[in-house]
Amino acid sequence: MEKIKRSVALPQLSDIIHAHSVLKHIVKKTPLERSKSFSAMSGANVFLKLENLQTTGSFKVRGAYYMISRLAPEKLTNGVLCASAGNHAQGVAYAASKLGVKSTVFMPVFAPPLKVIATRSYGAEVILTGDTFDDAFNAAMEYGSKSGATFVHPFNHPDIIAGQGTVGLELFEQLEQIDAVLVPIGGGGLIAGIAIALKQMNPGIRIIGVEAEGAQSMKVSIEANEPMSLTSVNTIADGIAVKSPGDLTFQITRSLVDELVTVNDAEIAQTTYMLLQRAKILAEPAGVAAMAAVLFGKVDLTGQNVIPVISGGNINMSILEQILEKGVMDVGLRARIQVLVPDQAGKLMSIIAILNKMRASIHDIYHERSTTSVPIGHVQITITFNLQDTLQLPTLLAELDKKGMSYQVLH
């Protein structure tokens, strides 16, 4: 990892208040809802700040709109641009469209098609280029130098931070007694803005930052006491998979954030599933990091009024499918078994008869005869099925044992 050094000019509470006045008729004042289920699970009094319900599906539109609205008229003539694979792209596109400004968004070629379509639908010209985000970023920089378009940074700009800080003002209005606020950290724009707002109004509120274990650039930077850049990031929470914090966001985090914790991908995935299952809230992996920290006890919050910020809801459908599949298996309502039986008529039906007896519904069946691991004259059957309750699987396996079948449970 390498050191990053830049000048620092920090936004103030007055900037956030001004941003709030600009944004109040543009963005939604998103709900703050108490969760009975998650309060019971965690032992805290949990209130969810639902920025996944924000226009464009995340908080990003707040900072993007405020920054673009403050650009000088002569700068607006050449338009704005950004590089993003997701939420920032949509926020910039929407904000620019509302302000009547041309926007160009550079996205890597791997960007999910639904996010590309959404960004275009908000009025941006989308240019797909490069295999990585860095490739798209470099292309955007080159385009900006030639076109004169203004680059809208995803997090490291005073106006971006001030715009994101309006979330903090809303929280202060929505809940009289706040003990702790947990905020996902990617580049740090959201937590920086929220920390400035809340610490000025009530220094006693704990601000806790949450990073993905595979992308903890802010935590590494705070420990080093200067901004650092990770050589790589690896997490399903792509919205907070940032290699390095900004110099502004680092400075604010170091000064105002009380604690930084991390959550791993398994905890993020399980929280995404639980939010959908228990609270009927669809959020993306990056958006649930704060809630994961609460559920998995990363900080002692017992008996406190706690607000995890659910920062976005733009989940990739392929990731959602995997999370749902794994989630329902983890809680014991779906199982997958592999059974080796003689390749004879009636063998499959005998297994299905056991499943029918248990009132288990079959999800899919796969046969394999041709691999070297399957003896000649046998067939390997993989069956995925849904169960009525979590106690059925041991009973079903006992039935297979009675019939002398060779099987293994797949996870």
The Cα–Cα gap between 105 and 83 comes to: 6
CB 406 within 8 A of CB 374: no
The C-alpha atoms of residue 43 and residue 297 are separated, in whole angstroms, by: 10
SS3 196: helix
List of E strands, 74-179: 80-83, 103-107, 125-128, 150-151
User: Catalytic annotation on 370?
Assistant: no
- DSSP for 361-398, written as a single string: EEEEEEEE-SSTTSPTTEEEEEEEEE-SSTTHHHHHHH
**Those residues with Cβ within 8 angstroms of residue 137's Cβ, 6 or more apart along the chain or in another chain:** 83, 106
Q: Residue holding tokens 């390498």?
A: 2
d(CA 209, CA 240): 12
d(CA 227, CA 248): 10
| Terminal alpha carbon distance of the chain | 36
Q: Is 244 a catalytic residue?
A: no
The letter for the amino acid at 141 is: M
Which 3 state secondary structure label does DSSP give 154? coil
> Which one of 60, 115, 199, 243 is the catalytic residue?
60
DSSP state of 153: -
3-state SS, residue 246: coil
List the catalytic residue out of 35, 69, 244, 311.
311
> What is the residue-wise DSSP string for 27-44?
S----EEE-HHHHHHHSS
Interior CA angle at 149 toward 145 and 153, to 5°?
Answer: 95
Is residue 167 within 8 Å of 193, Cβ to Cβ? Answer: yes
69 Cβ contact list (under 8 Å, min separation 6): 22, 95, 99
Assigned token pair, 319: 């990731």
Of 164, 220, 142, the closest CA to residue 51 belongs to: 164
Q: Which helix (H) or strand (E) holds 302?
A: none
The residues assigned a catalytic role are: 60, 311
